[in-house]
Amino acid sequence: MASKRKILFVHPLGVNWMPGQKDMSRIANIMPPLGLCGLAAWAEQHGHSAHIHDCYAFPGRDEKIDSWIRTEQPDFVGFSTTTSSFLDAARLAERIKAAYPQVRTIVGGVHVSALRESLMRDYPMFDYGVVGEGEEPLLALLEDQDLDNVPGLLLRRGDDVAFTGLQEATLDLDSLPFPAYGALEGFPGAYKLPIFNYPKGPGTTAVSSRGCPYQCSYCDRSVFRRSFRFNSAEYIVELLGHLRGSFGVRHVNFYDDLFTFNRERVVAFCESLLKSNLRMTFNCAARAEHLDQDLLGMLKRAGCWMISLGIESGDADLLKRHRSRADLEMIRERVDWIRGAGIRAKGLFMLGLPGETEETADHSLEYILSLPLDEFNLAKFTPFPGSPLFEEIHQSGSMEDRWDLMNCLNFVYVPEGFTAERLEERFHEFYRSYFQRPRVLLGYLAMVRHSPESWLRFLRNLGDFMGLQRSFRR
C-alpha cells in the first residue's frame, strides 16, 4: 500500500468585483469550493490526509497558509482556479515554493484545462497541472504512480511541458464520497447563499451532475467536454440527509448546469425526498425545454423554491447565433408554468455578446420587462478560454486580455459598435429598469415573510447596498 500523503488544498481569492468599487460579491454570496471539497474527501477515502484553506471565505490570510505548511509539512499543495483567480493561485504558489521548495504544487480547474501546456510553460511555480476531472490524476500523484500513463496530467520535462492526454469520463459519480463540507472553516455559517434566493438558512450548494451535452458558444466545456453524467436520486437524498443531520442545513442550491435534464431521475428524487421527511427546500437551474407542468408540480411538492433559467438574450436573432433551441415564446411559457406551480422564477441574462447592438439590447430589455420574473441577473459577457467562440473573439470586437477581470462583472470584451462606457450605461439601465418597478419592489417587501434572513443580511449591509445603488444611478 502507498504511504500516507498529506495535501493542502487552497481556493484562491482572485478579483471578484469591479475595480475601484467595494467587493459586494462576498456580501451577497459566498459559495463553498465544492471541487476541492470533493477532492479532499476522495484523498481521505484513499487513506491520505487533506486540509482546505478557502481564501475567498477568509481573505488576507497568507500567513495562516504559511503557518499550516510550516507546522504540518504537507507533501503537496493543490489549487483549483477559475480564469479570474488563476493569478492569485500563481502568487501563492510562488510564495510557497520560495519558502518550502520541497512542497510540490498542483494546479487544476477550467483555466488550466483550457490553456494546458502553454499556461504551464509560463508559470513554473506549478509542478503539475490537471486537465479535466481531478480525482484520478490526484490519486496518481499522491500514490507515486507511473505518471506518463495517467491521462489528464501536465508534466514538466526540463524546460518543456508534456500532456498525457485527455481522460475518458468513466467515473461513477455515485461511487464518490460526499464532499468534505466539514473540512471548511466555519461551515455552514461562514458561507452564504445569494441574498433573497432562499427561504431559511443555513444553506449551502451541491452538485449532482457533471457536464452538459449542449454546445452554446459562450460556455467553457474544457473540463467535462460534452459528457453528461449524474448522481442517482438515492445518492442526492442521502447527501441532503447528511447535510441536514451533520450541519443543520435547511436549503440547498443545486449548482448543476442541467438539473432537470433526466426527467426520470428528477421524479425519483422528488418522490424519495418527500418520503424522507427531511423538510428541506432547494433551488435548481434548468433549460426551459426540460420542464413540463407535471414535473414542476412534483418539484414544488418536494420543496423546490426557485428555478433559474439561462435565457441570455431577449433578441431572437442574437440568441439563435449563440445557443440551440432559441425559442423566446417557449421560454415565456415556461416562466408562466414555473410561477403557476408556486415556484419562484429567476432569469439569467448576458449583455455584450458578439453581435450585440443597441437594437438587440433594446429587445432584451423589453423582453425582460415583459416576463413575470421574481429574480433577475444580468452578467457582463466574458469570453472564457475553452469556450467555442474564444479563438475568434478578436474578429468581432475589442478584447482586453486581463484574466483577473474575466469574472462576468467587467466588460473585458466590447462588441463592434459599442464602447465599454456605453455598455456600462446600458448595464445600469437594465438594472434600474427592472428593480425600480413597483411590482418588483413589492415582491422584495414580501420577502420579509418568505426570506427573513435575507432581509436581516440586507439591513446589516444597508450602507454598502445603498452605495451600489448610487453608483448605478450615476
| pTM (2 d.p.) | 0.94
Please name the residue that has the C-alpha cell 484562491.
Answer: 12
Specify the pLDDT at position 19.
Answer: 63
pLDDT exceeds cutoff 70 at 16: no
CATH architecture of 193-443: Alpha-Beta Barrel (3.20)
The dihedral sign for the CA sequence 66, 68, 73, 79: negative
3-state secondary structure of 229: strand
Q: Which cell numbers in the block locate residue 38?
A: 470533493
Axis crossing angle, helix 328-340 with helix 293-302, rounded to the nearest 10: 40
Q: 200 phi and psi, to 5 degrees?
A: -140, 145
Alpha-carbon distance of 139 to 128, in angstroms, equals 13
Residue 200's pLDDT is 94
If you classify domain 6-163 with CATH, what class do you get? alpha beta
Q: What is the tens place of the pLDDT at every residue in 20-45?
A: 666 677 778 899 999 999 999 999 99
The predicted model gives 3-29 an average pLDDT of 80
Closest CA to 83 of 413, 392, 405, 350: 405
Task: Determine the residue type at 233.
Answer: A
List pLDDT tens digits, range 121-157. Answer: 999 999 999 999 999 999 999 999 999 999 999 999 9
41-44, Cβ contacts within 8 angstroms, sequence gap of 24 or more: 41/176, 41/177, 41/178, 41/179, 41/180, 42/135, 42/138, 42/139, 42/176, 42/177, 43/5, 43/7, 43/138, 43/139, 43/142, 44/177, 44/180
- Express each pLDDT in 379-410 by its tens digit: 999 999 988 888 889 899 999 989 999 999 99
Gap between the Cα atoms of 60 and 230, Å rounded: 36
C-alpha cell of 124? 513554473
pLDDT digits (tens, 9 = 90+) for 50-62: 999 999 999 888 9
Whole-number Å distance between alpha carbons of 395 and 52:
41
Give the per-residue pLDDT at 20.
64
Angle at alpha carbon of residue 188, lines to 182 and 191, rounded to 5°: 120
| Residues sharing a CB contact under 8 Å with residue 399, sequence separation 6 or more, in sequence order | 383, 393, 412, 413, 414
* Segment 196-222 mean pLDDT: 89
Report whether pLDDT(474) > 70: no
Cell numbers for 390:
474564444
d(CA 286, CA 166): 28
CA torsion sign, 352 to 358 to 364 to 370?
Answer: positive
Whether the Cβ atoms of residue 220 and residue 384 lie closer than 8 Å to each other: yes
Domain layout of the chain by residue ranges? 6-163, 193-443
pLDDT score for 162: 97
Digit-coded pLDDT (tens) for 312-328: 999 999 999 998 778 99
Reading the block at residue 375, the C-alpha cell is: 429574480
- Condensed to tens digits (0 to 9), the pLDDT of residues 265-311 reads 999 999 999 999 999 999 999 999 999 999 999 999 999 999 999 99
Decide if 69 contacts 100 (C-beta within 8 A): yes
Confidence of residue 207 (pLDDT cuts 50, 70, 90): very high
Give the mean pLDDT of the chain: 93
pLDDT at 232: 97
Q: Evaluate whether 374 touches 331 at the Cβ level (below 8 Å).
A: no
